[in-house]
Amino acid sequence: MLLPGKILGQQHFRIKADFSIKEKNADSTVNLTVGTVYYDKVIKKVIYDVSFPRKETWIIQDTAVYKIVNGKVIEKVKATSIAEFTIFHMALSGSLGEYGLKEMPFKLTSVEKEDSMIIATWKPEEKVQKMFGKIVMSKVNRKIYGIVFFKSNGKIAGKQFFRKYKKITGVDFPTEVMQINYTPSGTNQQITTFKNIVIDQANDKKLFDRAIPAQ
């Protein structure tokens, strides 16, 4: 009876954290968003409770992001990443080190070493080559450090950097994520920081599973 319990305890399923998002846009505007994020690996909804600049809730489910204010959906947009490919799901599943690429239509084509850094190149399978370019990923101490996304035409679409890892209840989680997106109008930069991270919170299930209001 001890062994199954031990194995079950290692199957991480929830993460909760306070977050702040600082954005610097190509037009020189700056935005700050603060709140708490919840994710349950079984339910597969990412829920952001935003407290600043105004109270609202963002729910990422399937392929959409719902913005909810005062119990009403005020906006629905296409999600750039479904729940299974967020850092929350990948960290809980132990797949963040490969950015979930083993589950995507990409193939590992080369691995190089530069000092303490391992650099891997993943190329899209033929069926998706019109939509995606290669992905180049670097790791330090077996943890993902940086990732560069290319367009199908070979130009860089964006970059992500994962910093200041903390091991919480056996889960390595980056407490700072920088994202850089290159657009026709210029470069947008976003830094997300996480603190007060809790893994496998057993109570308050209602915080991890919210119904989307009728539209």
Give per-residue pLDDT as tens, 88-145.
999 999 999 999 898 889 999 999 999 999 999 999 999 999 999 999 999 999 999 9
Yes or no: say if 59 and 68 are a contact pair by the CB < 8 Å rule: yes
Q: Is residue 125 part of a domain?
A: yes
Q: How many helices (H) and strands (E) does the chain have?
A: 3, 13
CATH label of the domain that carries residue 167: 2.50.20.10
pLDDT value of residue 10: 58
pLDDT value of residue 39: 97
Q: Is residue 209 part of a domain?
A: no
| Integer Cα distance of 186 and 154 in angstroms | 18
The confidence band for 214, taking pLDDT boundaries of 50, 70 and 90, is confident
**Which residue did the predictor score with more confidence, 78 or 7?**
78
List the domain range (segments joined by +) for residue 17.
Answer: 12-202
Q: Is residue 93 part of a domain?
A: yes
Q: Is residue 72 part of a domain?
A: yes
Give 127-176 as a DSSP string.
GGTTT---EEEEEETTEEEEEEEE-TTS-EEEEEEEEEEEEETTEEEEEE
Give per-residue pLDDT as tens, 52-65.
999 999 999 988 99
pLDDT value of residue 74: 96
